[in-house]
Structure 1
Amino acid sequence: MYGAPALPPDFVSLPYANPDAPKGGRIVFGNTGGFDSLNPFVQKGTAPWQLRFWGYESLMGRSWDEPFTLYGLLAESIRTAPDRSWVEFTLRPEARFSDGSPVTVEDVIWSYETLGTQGHLRYRGFASQIQSIVQTGERSLKINFNTDDRELALIAGMRPILKKAQWQGVDFTASGLDNIPIGTGAYVISDFEAGRNVTLRRNPDYWAKELPFRRGTQNFDEMRIEFYGDGTVLFEAFKAGELTVMREFNAEKWDAQYGFPAVLRGDVIKSEIPHQRPSGMTGFVMNTRRAPFDDWRVREAMLLAFNFEYINDTVTGGAQPRITSYFSSSELAMQPGPATGKVLELLEPYADALLPGALEGYALPASDGTARNRGNLRRAVDLLAAAGWTVQNGELRNAQGTPFAFEVLLRQGDGGNQTVIEIYSRALSRLGIQVDVSTVDDAQYAARIDQYDFDMTTFRRELSLSPGNEQRLYWGSDGVDVPGTRNLMGVASGAVDGLIDRMLATDSREEFTAAVRALDRVLTTGRYVIPLWQYDVGRIAHARKLRFPEQLPIYGDRTGFLPDVWWYDED
């Protein structure tokens, strides 16, 4: 995207992979909930989230040490116009599906067209930006774009490639457990028990096992996912040795509850993985499609009533810092104080529509850390009154007499967030607000989220050092009324849309950074999410025989690290 790739054409392996890592062994993960599909590329059903990363590949692959660089994977070469208006890929002659059949240009074109029209919504936005796809040679194809967007040439290389012949006469959108997509990746599903477990085996004939991009990766012979009803049962299974690896997101639990016998014996190792990526956004999202959260003053009052300092101390021991904006802890984060320089220049055309704080500066409400949070609650009362909500007979009501009541939608097994909401609800009750908590299974949760059938729910968006077109999917105004997008809060902002456009069109790294910082300001001052704490370091407890390289990628523990560059060491 900017500059040149860091690795030379004759690189041996990715810098954070061990090219001499042994092959073999087994790794067992745990998920909460269940699954009713093994097709991760369609909107219907719930598939194990890991599947689209473990068994499927694209024309290009990402190095997690370089935010703006891709390397050839199924494609042996890439050509693109100086203005990025088109890109041409040439397939490697050795590229194969897991059944041994060759990957053809026809498979690639079919995959792009099918995913773009029938696949999961995350693939459809890119499809609308393609003017044409044409075969240009026995192993080459050219994609022409209809949009001025420099990132499209890279995104084009990241679509999963599936086998066209498998789906002739078969409804791709209806596939679930009965028809598992054939991919080109190193792993294939060898066994599963619906809703309970799924096992993948490494393909001994994997086509890319000697490719430098893959050297030292995909080292386990078997990878298995076990499913549990909730996080507590999952943790007990790990302590009992049923699982071999466990990610922990709570710093206090990491310190207090990982002293069980296997850790003391040294059979389980606690590893901490630093990273340089943005915080992303984790918290509770408010659906602005519905009253009362369509009023920014109400949303600010919700933030004021959320006693982060007290809740953080109660739940994590105060060990994890708060998320302060969507790109906090990175160079892309909005800067403190008033907007200046290029950021101000980018925001000024939208000044009349921006919410308070976007231009003059904004920081999340902070409490004194006590349980009562009186000062912030008083400010919340004033904002709610300005928005037309006053206490009448002990209940907060509007001018029409409608009580202020809302539902928090939680996924079954989400005990950690349930604890947070219980504390939060007690504070809201002091304002006269009634909170109802609904806990539903995975299928119901997914269906309600797809239809935006919620008032408030949990929210997590991981953000990268190279944000791009996915930002439209997350908070572009086109996703407000379309079911199934990731714009859960219902952002409909000309400033957001315009800043994403500027971010994607520029060929200047300086302007790109300014555009993201400006976008961060608009999203943060939109008061759409009540932020929680950062995952400032990755915490992984794992069996002693599981190892990883000493050199770590700048993204730390993210997709592309575990299990990709780990290995099993019997000794």
Structure 2
Amino acid sequence: MTPIHRFGALAASLLLACLALPAAAAPQHALTLYDEPPKYPADFKHLDYVNPKAPKGGTFRQSSFGSFDSLNPYITKGVPADGIELIYDTLMTQSRDEPFTEYGLVAGKIEKAPDNTWVRFYLRPEARFHDGQPMRAEDVVFSFNALTKQGAPLYRQYYGDVTQVVAETPLQVRFDFKHGGNRELPMILGQLPVLPKHWYAERDFTHASLELPLGSGPYRVAQVKPGRSIRYERVKDYWAKDLPINVGQYNFDAMTFDVYRDNVVALEGLKAGQFDFREERTAKSWATAYNTPAVRDGRLIREELPNGNPSGMQGFVFNLRRPIFQDIRVREALSQLFDFEWTNRQLFNGAYRRTNSYFENSDMAARGAPSDAERAILEPLRGKIPERALSTAFSTPVTDASGMIREQQRTAYRLLQEAGWKIVDDKMVDAQGKPVSIEFLLAQPDFERVLLPFKRNLAELGIDLVIRRVDVSQFVTRIRLRDFDMMVGSFPQTSSPGNEQREYWSSVSADNPGSRNYIGLRDPAIDQLVESLIGADSRQSLIEHAHALDRVLLWGFYVIPNWYISTYRVAYWNHIGHPEVSPTFDLGINTWWIKPNVTPAVSDVTPPPAEGN
């Protein structure tokens, strides 16, 4: 064969080899979960829910509950300060008017393998830390390794399907995956905060410190009064301030958080003009505590803004690590004894709805009997999951709001008897003959009024509920140690649930002190449902798998569901402004501003004594 023929044959063989490979993925400005087009094109100017001409300036004052002793939010040690995430940039950032779409931030372009086995981020050359040092691929590699090896256990779980991270060039980094079945993984890697490798070279990443950290985001920490307050100042030469994704955002020159250890005192602080904004989470306060001259004359504004997010699940959480709660009949019996209807009418002014799903306020909430598609997911697990999950719609007990729950108490007593419990000398004893006493761990004083009627209902069946109030630091420590019987816990959801479900329900997270598997679930069937949900290949499949998981969790009676509301209740002084259009899936505080021509109002109320600030 002549040289020219040999060259032609070689070229032909190379062409055939290339044709056999998957087509190269083109770098993109945004990622979506199922590869649908993003809302905003590559040349968009700003997000629809911002005011691109919002004025910059002023100080935005907020309250913070509890305390803090750390400026490192990525480890299990210490309690981090509110707002600390404002100092760090991530590879990508999520728009708040789409279910789950991310746009480039530190990474200007993103390239994903056609078979979803890797993702590559192309860093912007202009990206800088606050000390002027450029952000480079080695910082991304350092950040990933620090979080997964030394950070809170949730990161090891969150990024568990990554096999390696490689800095291909100073501005190019690639993550390789164990398999292509985790569609969400490229997007959750986009949420990776980029930490400064050079700064941590002389510091212990695992140390809960109050040293002012080096960041890269729109704000820097300016002042810390340990356990009392923290002040952030806007970075005037922030490298990303003119990116379309940031236009109209981060408008305050400074943001402060003052610590309060009592929400009642914090509310009085708002009315006294000690801070500017409050999201009200207590229905009684919203209905009765804002009858002040400042509200009546429009200086202090009360407003309900739409909240399109799934409300998730808040409930009284059973710790299955305690033998007393391992019998499902016991958990169902105790669930019968929470009288939501009376609580809602007497304590909440009828403001709430009862939660009946772990994905409440969304299309992922299971309703009615299982569909054929849901049964197809659940049927292979028959005998390993509650039988009712295969056929019956779940619903919480409903009372007449009179405070008399005889029917629910009879049901509870029957279930407890089936579990081997009985009453001896007016005290309930368990199957081992031990008097039943349950400790309810609590950090929020205003929640005690909700628990007292529940305590009374248990006492009528001879069960002693001990309400143990502790401060926030003790509460966090005991939760991490799993040292509780029951507590108020929440499992927030997004419009596109994915890898975080492992953090809530999977066996591998049960022993991680930083995980949100508060319940202590170790159930192979639930593990399988979680993995199937993460691997869903379409929106419809995701919904069906969420329904299936929802049914199994509900019929397991792992929590006593609480309540939800589909709006944000906010109060703010009238020198604060916000866009006319709110983001669908967020309150959007970063889009608000200080009105330059409005003098901050001073309340008629005498300022209360500052507690902790």
- Tell me the TM-score normalised to structure 2 length: 0.90
Q: CA deviation at 1:398?
A: 2.4
1:359 counterpart (360, 366, 390) = 390
2:576 counterpart (528, 541, 546) = 546
Indicate the residue corresponding to 2:49 in structure 1: 16
1:341 aligns with 2:384: no
SS in 1 for 2:442: strand
1:152 maps to amino acid: L
SS in 1 for 2:563: coil
In structure 2, how many angstroms separate the alpha carbons of the residues matched to 1:91 and 1:407? 51
Indicate if the aligned counterparts of 1:55 and 1:183 stay in contact, CA closer than 8 A: yes
2:353 maps to amino acid: P
1:490 aligns with 2:523: no
Indicate the residue corresponding to 2:20 in structure 1: none
Post-superposition Cα deviations, 1:339-398, rounded to whole Å, max 9, x if no partner, equal 122111001111111124311222111112111211101100000000111111100012
2:592 counterpart (554, 566, 570) = 566
Indicate if the aligned counterparts of 1:350 and 1:494 stay in contact, CA closer than 8 A: no
2:549 counterpart (519, 522, 525) = 519
1:187 counterpart (219, 236, 239) = 219
Indicate if the aligned counterparts of 1:245 and 1:541 stay in contact, CA closer than 8 A: yes
Indicate the residue corresponding to 1:456 in structure 2: 486
2:473 maps to amino acid: A
1:387 aligns with 2:436: no
Indicate the residue corresponding to 1:470 in structure 2: 500
1:371 maps to amino acid: G
Indicate if the aligned counterparts of 2:154 and 2:512 stay in contact, CA closer than 8 A: no
Indicate the residue corresponding to 2:288 in structure 1: 256
Indicate the residue corresponding to 1:128 in structure 2: 160
In structure 1, how many angstroms separate the alpha carbons of the residues matched to 2:317 and 2:83? 24
1:506 aligns with 2:536: yes
1:194 maps to amino acid: P
Q: CA deviation at 1:188?
A: 0.6
In structure 1, how many angstroms separate the alpha carbons of the residues matched to 2:521 and 2:430? 24
Indicate if the aligned counterparts of 2:153 and 2:515 stay in contact, CA closer than 8 A: yes
Indicate if the aligned counterparts of 1:40 and 1:49 stay in contact, CA closer than 8 A: no
- Tell me the TM-score normalised to structure 1 length: 0.96
In structure 1, how many angstroms separate the alpha carbons of the residues matched to 2:339 and 2:452? 12
SS in 2 for 1:435: strand
Indicate if the aligned counterparts of 2:82 and 2:257 stay in contact, CA closer than 8 A: no
Residue segments in structure 2 that go unaligned for 5+ positions in a row = 1-32, 598-613
SS in 1 for 2:354: coil
Indicate if the aligned counterparts of 1:347 and 1:495 stay in contact, CA closer than 8 A: no
In structure 2, how many angstroms separate the alpha carbons of the residues matched to 1:464 and 1:128? 20
Post-superposition Cα deviations, 1:294-335, rounded to whole Å, max 9, x if no partner, equal 111111111101111111112211221111111122111102
Q: CA deviation at 1:265?
A: 2.5
> Which protein is bigger by CA-based radius of gyration?
2
In structure 2, how many angstroms separate the alpha carbons of the residues matched to 1:472 and 1:131? 18
2:272 maps to amino acid: A
Worse-matched range after superposition: 500-509 or 373-382: 500-509
2:469 counterpart (439, 445, 456) = 439
1:40 maps to amino acid: P
1:569 maps to amino acid: K
Q: Percent identity?
A: 39
In structure 1, how many angstroms separate the alpha carbons of the residues matched to 2:274 and 2:170? 49
1:277 aligns with 2:303: no
In structure 2, how many angstroms separate the alpha carbons of the residues matched to 1:567 and 1:165? 34
SS in 1 for 2:388: coil
Q: CA deviation at 1:431?
A: 0.6
Q: For the structure 1 residues 139 and 380, does the alpha-carbon distance in structure 2 shift closer, same or farther, using more than 3 Å as the test?
A: same
Q: CA deviation at 1:506?
A: 2.6
Q: CA deviation at 1:82?
A: 1.3
Structure 1 stretches of 4+ with a deviation exceeding 4 A read: none
Indicate if the aligned counterparts of 1:107 and 1:162 stay in contact, CA closer than 8 A: yes
1:509 maps to amino acid: R
In structure 2, how many angstroms separate the alpha carbons of the residues matched to 1:205 and 1:508? 42
Count of paired positions: 562
1:93 aligns with 2:119: no
In structure 1, how many angstroms separate the alpha carbons of the residues matched to 2:431 and 2:250? 62
Indicate if the aligned counterparts of 2:504 and 2:515 stay in contact, CA closer than 8 A: yes
SS in 1 for 2:552: helix
In structure 2, how many angstroms separate the alpha carbons of the residues matched to 1:495 and 1:4? 35
1:105 maps to amino acid: A
Post-superposition Cα deviations, 1:491-535, rounded to whole Å, max 9, x if no partner, equal 222232112212222322211110011111111111111111103
In structure 2, how many angstroms separate the alpha carbons of the residues matched to 1:126 and 1:519? 19
Q: CA deviation at 1:244?
A: 0.4
1:312 aligns with 2:344: yes
Indicate if the aligned counterparts of 1:63 and 1:70 stay in contact, CA closer than 8 A: yes
SS in 1 for 2:82: coil
Q: State the superposition RMSD in angstroms.
A: 1.3
1:567 maps to amino acid: W
1:176 aligns with 2:237: no
Indicate if the aligned counterparts of 1:113 and 1:127 stay in contact, CA closer than 8 A: no
In structure 1, how many angstroms separate the alpha carbons of the residues matched to 2:432 and 2:152? 41
Q: CA deviation at 1:481?
A: 2.4
Q: CA deviation at 1:166?
A: 0.8
In structure 1, how many angstroms separate the alpha carbons of the residues matched to 2:440 and 2:260? 23
Q: CA deviation at 1:143?
A: 0.6
Indicate if the aligned counterparts of 1:59 and 1:159 stay in contact, CA closer than 8 A: yes
In structure 2, how many angstroms separate the alpha carbons of the residues matched to 1:23 and 1:449? 41
In structure 1, how many angstroms separate the alpha carbons of the residues matched to 2:80 and 2:89? 17
Post-superposition Cα deviations, 1:417-450, rounded to whole Å, max 9, x if no partner, equal 1111111101100010001111111221111101
Indicate the residue corresponding to 1:533 in structure 2: 563
Indicate if the aligned counterparts of 2:312 and 2:360 stay in contact, CA closer than 8 A: yes
In structure 1, how many angstroms separate the alpha carbons of the residues matched to 2:516 and 2:189? 20
Q: CA deviation at 1:267?
A: 1.3
